[in-house]
Structure 1
Amino acid sequence: MIYHIAYRADWAAARAAGRYTVSTRGVSLEEQGYIHASAAGQVAATANRFYAGETGLVVLVIDPEALSSPVRFEPPAPGVAELFPHIYGPIEVAAVVETVPLTADAEGRFRFSC
């Protein structure tokens, strides 16, 4: 499985449309060219780095075999060695096998385990 952090409102809109097209916080698939995703062990660090202080988040649990869009494991930026899954096209709603609420703890840190 691969994972994508989404706002609940964006996920609700995707369910109505049949596909999800948000790359990352405030950036569309069209603007970025792919949708950012994570492996399970990368979700919390990504949330803490890019979504600190945010509420209304869910983690989309995605079956990559159910996607019609290709997935490539790539570094998120030049010079970064860690690889992240990037989805080069929309996420069909049917490829999302589960959604998990993502909330911060008392110290304001996100934790995630699957």
Structure 2
Amino acid sequence: MLPEHVYKIATFEEWDAALEKGTFDGAPVDLADGFIHFSTAAQVCETAARHFRGRDGLFLIKVATASMARHYRMEASRGGDLFPHLYARLPVSDAVIWEEMEMRADGGHVLPRWFVEEEGGA
């Protein structure tokens, strides 16, 4: 079942370009795979650690799924877990909030306060 909100980690450059354009077409990996990769709240920490460790200049973006629900699919990925994939461009108007993920000295990330408060740090 598709959650009400999904999460995307994007670079400052990717998201700034999307804000200017009005749609997010995806990161290079998304464009190569033919869909935009998202995470559920429970998957954000592992996604950040696995794919973004040591990378600075990242936003965590909370996205409402209702307006584009028919274009999302929950599909098996790492370890058989179901991940939300969007088979369309993301209207930036679907973004509820976004904030920088600060990088710690060890290369991990500090999740935004709103995410920790809403999701319990997932």
Is TM-score (shorter-chain normalized) higher than 0.5? yes
- Tell me the equivalent position of 1:52: 53
What does 1:94-113 correspond to in 2, within 5 Å? Answer: 94-112=93-111, 113=116
The structure with the largest helix share of the pair is 2
Q: Which runs of 5 or more structure 1 residues have no equivalent in the other structure? A: none
- Tell me the equivalent position of 2:13: 9
Task: Please give the alpha-carbon distance, in whole angstroms, between the structure 2 residues aligned to 1:90 and 1:111.
Answer: 28
TM-score normalised by L of structure 2:
0.79
- Tell me the equivalent position of 2:90: 91
1:88 counterpart letter in structure 2: Y
- Tell me the equivalent position of 1:27: 29
Q: Percent identity?
A: 30
Task: Please give the alpha-carbon distance, in whole angstroms, between the structure 1 residues aligned to 2:30 and 2:80.
Answer: 25
* Contact kept? 1:33, 1:88, Cα under 8 Å: yes
TM-score normalised by L of structure 1:
0.84
1:101 counterpart letter in structure 2: E
* Contact kept? 1:72, 1:87, Cα under 8 Å: yes
* Contact kept? 2:9, 2:59, Cα under 8 Å: yes
Task: Please give the alpha-carbon distance, in whole angstroms, between the structure 2 residues aligned to 1:2 and 1:102.
Answer: 16
- Tell me the equivalent position of 1:64: 65
Secondary structure of residue in 2 paired with 1:108: coil
CA RMSD of aligned residues (A): 1.8
1:18 counterpart letter in structure 2: G
Q: Which runs of 5 or more structure 2 residues have no equivalent in the other structure? A: none
